Amino acid sequence: MEISDQLVIEQLLSDFAWFADRGDGEALARLFLPDAILIVGGTELVGRQRIADDCFRRFNDPHRKTRHVWSNLRIEHSGADSVTTTAVQMTFEQSAPDIPTQLRVNDLFDEFRRDADKRWRIARRTIKREIALALPR
């Protein structure tokens, strides 16, 4: 794996966080292969449209605001057209004025593959919650 490939993978991770936080389901879905799988909160979403719809659904709650921060990228396996990684993601979520802000620490398990144009895309992503805290007001 070339350094340039790793930088593209890092950009995909950052773009996922950015688009999710802003409810840009179309841009978020384009990070994935057409038949990709996203598993979050035990729900399996298959395909770009379901991934986009879930992003829109989450963002359309007028009381909900999130910010995602990722770190600790580890390349587990790399080949010419596929890469498997792990990382850690912190999600800060406000869901209502009277509910404390939540902090969740998640493990990310990602598989990236090149598409027909040789661009890296997410083929499969599992977001697994490991820690959840309510932050004091």
How confident is the model over 32-58, as pLDDT tens digits? Answer: 999 999 999 899 999 999 999 999 999
Please tell me the predicted confidence (pLDDT) of residue 75. Answer: 95
According to CATH, the topology of domain 3-134 is Nuclear Transport Factor 2; Chain: A, (3.10.450)
Residues 79-104 have pLDDT tens digits of 889 999 999 999 999 988 788 899 99
Q: Where are the domains of the chain?
A: 3-134
Query: What is the widest separation between alpha-carbon atoms in the chain?
Result: 50
In this predicted structure, what is the pLDDT of residue 80?
A: 87
